[in-house]
């Protein structure tokens, strides 16, 4: 594939119409991507990098979301054993020489070094609320904890999220400036309980999330907001209308909001998605004819400007890559 895929994607993000609609899909490379800790086990980073590079070399995707399996944990062990919200006031920003920054920047450099200057890359980062949730034994336990802490001492949680978001913002800037990633792919998600009220979300969650995107935007305008609907999780999409991102990816199938409606909800932004990421979806189970028919339907409905085809979230690990190429073949 001799075309400059990076320019193709950047043009589409800028709202220009090109000869074909680009597509991007991704999947996890580690068995337990949430609790794996590559900071403590370097061999996990090696496995992650090998999988990422194999996919890049063999499939030659239109653009790459750099997966961060093993880098989900925030290196503050005390956050795994919180007893009281007042403990959160003791959390301070990470030192500049923390592996949280240096190790991820070096990993990203290895990926961008293989991509060269002809493929766009977007480094996967998570919002503070998601990071704290992931650090608990299970996601449901994480949601309960976040909710309890907000009820106990909202200011303490705001402090914590400000610290984590500040560190993620620093990482985003370094990834773009030093590792040469095109931008970030930033994952946010509504939570349950008191966190599900917009008032609480605007006060506790949104400031740090917007700060991360603003920091990334200062280095590159090409950043993607991911409103995560993994495993059927529902979100209030309208809460993110003013988030400073070039493109938005949400769970089209889960939320029941197709790409063409998303264009109206997020005017001036490119949209990414269209396919379900489930084992029951046409992308995973359909025939070639069915996958390509759905591809053409998505393009017909959403148009060719400001549209990148993809999935609601990560696709199953064992998906046949040929299926992803069926989408690319039909998106002309």
Q: In this predicted model, what pLDDT tens digit does every residue of 311-332 receive, in sequence order?
A: 999 999 999 999 999 999 999 8
Percentage of residues of the chain with pLDDT beyond 90: 94
Structure confidence at residue 100 (pLDDT): 98
Beta bridge partners of 272: 249, 308
Section 250-274 average pLDDT: 97
| Secondary structure (3-state) at 184 | strand
Under DSSP, the state recorded for 210 is H
Closest by Cα among 280, 300, 267 to 232 = 280
Is pLDDT of 143 > 80?
Answer: yes
Is residue 8 within 8 Å of 15, Cβ to Cβ?
no
1: pLDDT strictly greater than 60:
no
Q: Which tokens belong to 101? A: 């920054």
Q: Are strands 120-126 and 224-227 parallel, antiparallel or unpaired?
A: unpaired
The answer to whether the beta carbons of residues 14 and 6 sit under 8 Å apart is no
Q: Which residue has the tokens 């989900």?
A: 72
Can you give the length of the chain in residues? Answer: 332
pLDDT for 34-62, tens place per residue? 999 999 999 999 999 999 999 999 999 99
The DSSP symbol for 305 reads T
Q: Is residue 17 very low, low, confident or very high in pLDDT (cuts 50, 70, 90)?
A: confident
Token pair for residue 182? 């095109």
Mean per-residue pLDDT for 104-121? 96
Cα–Cα distance, 16 to 171 (Å, whole number): 30
Q: Which domain holds residue 223?
A: 5-330
State whether residue 150 is helix, strand or coil: helix
Mean pLDDT in residue range 161-177: 98
What pLDDT is stored for residue 3 in this prediction? 80
Q: Is the pLDDT of residue 113 over 70?
A: yes
Q: Pairing state of beta strands 120-126 and 183-188?
A: parallel
**What value does the mean pLDDT take over residues 27-35?**
96
Does position 192 have pLDDT exceeding 90, yes or no? no
pLDDT, average across residues 82-105: 97
Compute the distance between CA of residue 111 and CA of residue 179 in angstroms, rounded to an integer.
9
Which sign does the torsion angle of CA 187, 191, 195, 196 carry?
A: positive
Q: How sure is the predictor about 232, in pLDDT bands with cuts at 50, 70 and 90?
A: confident
Distance CA 226, CA 278 (A): 17
Q: In whole numbers, what is the pLDDT of the chain averaged over residues?
A: 96
Average pLDDT, stretch 13-23?
Answer: 94
Give the integer Cα–Cα distance in Å for 283 and 148: 39
pLDDT band at 151 (very low <50, low <70, confident <90, very high): very high
Distance of CA 240 to the CA centre of its chain: 14
Is the predicted pLDDT of residue 196 greater than 80, yes or no?
no
CB–CB of 279/244 below 8 Å? no
Q: Which residue has the tokens 């995707």?
A: 61
Average pLDDT over residues 125-143: 95
Quote the pLDDT of residue 191: 81
Q: Check residue 27 and give its pLDDT.
A: 96
Q: Is 302 helix (H, G, I), strand (E, B) or coil?
A: helix
Q: Is the pLDDT of residue 218 over 90?
A: yes
Cα 67 to its chain centre, rounded Å, is 9
Phi first, then psi: what are they for 183, rounded to 5°?
Answer: -175, -170
Calculate mean pLDDT across residues 251-258: 96
Q: How far apart are the first and last CA of the chain?
A: 15
Which among 137, 163, 145 is positioned nearest to 85, based on CA atoms?
A: 145
List the CATH number of the domain containing 237: 3.20.20.210
* pLDDT grade for 195, boundaries at 50, 70 and 90: low
Give the number of domains in the chain: 1
Q: How many helices (H) and strands (E) does the chain have?
A: 13, 7
Contact 169, 123 (CB under 8 A): no
pLDDT band at residue 233 under the 50/70/90 scheme: confident
Of 241, 244, 242, 240, nearest in space to 220 by CA: 244
**Residue in the structure block whose two tokens are 């069926």:** 326
Q: Judging by beta carbons within 10 Å of its beta carbon (0-12, 13-18, 19+), is residue 20 exposed, middle or buried? A: middle
Is this model's pTM higher than 0.95 or not? Answer: yes
Q: Using CA atoms, how far apart are residues 46 and 132, in angstroms rounded to an integer?
A: 25
Confidence at 194, pLDDT banded by 50, 70, 90: low
């Amino acid at each position: 594939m001799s075309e400059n895929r990076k320019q193709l994607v950047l043009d589409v993000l800028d709202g220009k119409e090109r000869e074909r609609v680009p597509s991007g899909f991704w999947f996890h490379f580690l068995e337990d991507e949430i609790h794996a800790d590559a900071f403590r086990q370097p061999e996990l980073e090696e496995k992650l990098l090998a999988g990422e590079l194999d996919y890049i070399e063999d499939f030659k995707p239109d653009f790459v979301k750099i997966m961060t399996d093993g880098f989900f944990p925030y290196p503050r062990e005390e956050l795994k054993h919180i007893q009281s919200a007042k403990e959160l006031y003791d959390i301070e920003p990470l030192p500049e020489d923390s592996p949280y920054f240096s190790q991820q920047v070096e990993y990203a450099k290895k990926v961008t070094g293989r991509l060269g200057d002809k493929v766009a890359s977007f480094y996967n980062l998570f919002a503070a609320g998601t990071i704290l949730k992931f650090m608990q034994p299970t996601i449901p336990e994480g949601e309960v904890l976040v909710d309890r802490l907000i009820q106990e001492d909202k200011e303490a949680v705001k402090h914590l999220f400000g610290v984590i978001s500040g560190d993620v913002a620093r990482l985003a800037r370094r990834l773009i400036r030093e590792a040469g990633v095109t931008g970030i792919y930033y994952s946010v998600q509504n939570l349950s309980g008191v966190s599900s009220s917009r008032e609480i979300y605007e006060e506790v969650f949104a400031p740090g999330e917007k700060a991360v995107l603003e920091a990334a935007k200062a280095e590159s305008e090409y950043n993607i907001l991911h409103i995560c609907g993994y495993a059927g999780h529902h979100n209030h999409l309208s809460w993110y209308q003013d988030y400073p991102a070039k493109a938005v990816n949400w769970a089209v199938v889960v939320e029941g909001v197709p790409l063409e409606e998303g264009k109206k909800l997020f005017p001036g932004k490119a949209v990414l998605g269209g396919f379900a990421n489930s084992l029951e979806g046409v992308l995973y189970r359909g025939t070639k004819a069915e996958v390509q028919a759905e591809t053409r339907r998505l393009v017909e409905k959403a148009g060719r400007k400001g549209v990148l085809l993809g999935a609601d979230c990560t696709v199953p690990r064992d998906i046949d890559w040929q299926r992803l190429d069926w989408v690319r073949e039909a998106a002309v």
